[in-house]
Amino acid sequence: MCGWMLLYLALFAVLGTLAAGFLFILLFLAMQKDVRWWTALAVASVTSATIWLVFAQLMRFELYPGILFGGTLPSL
């Protein structure tokens, strides 16, 4: 479980909020034996779309874009 959390942290830093969430959910569900790939894809898509709709559109929050898309990390 710690590995999954580290993977999400790395994805979040590099890809940003929406892409990291989508990819993490897709990978996590696809690794489960009893979940079909299309179900994992659907759940990841709906979850990411809901996050985008609620936070970015309705609440007007600026979601972190990720290092690849122009975001910067705070200095340590």
Distance CA 62, CA 56 (A): 6
Looking at residue 73, what is its pLDDT?
77
Distance CA 44, CA 49 (A): 9
User: Which pLDDT tens digit goes with each residue over 37-71?
Assistant: 999 999 999 999 999 999 999 999 999 998 888 88
6: tokens are 């580290």
* DSSP tag of 34: T
Please give the model's pTM, rounded to 2 decimal places. Answer: 0.86
Range with the poorest average pLDDT among 25-29, 62-66, 70-74 = 70-74
Q: What is the pLDDT confidence band of residue 27, given thresholds at 50, 70 and 90? A: very high
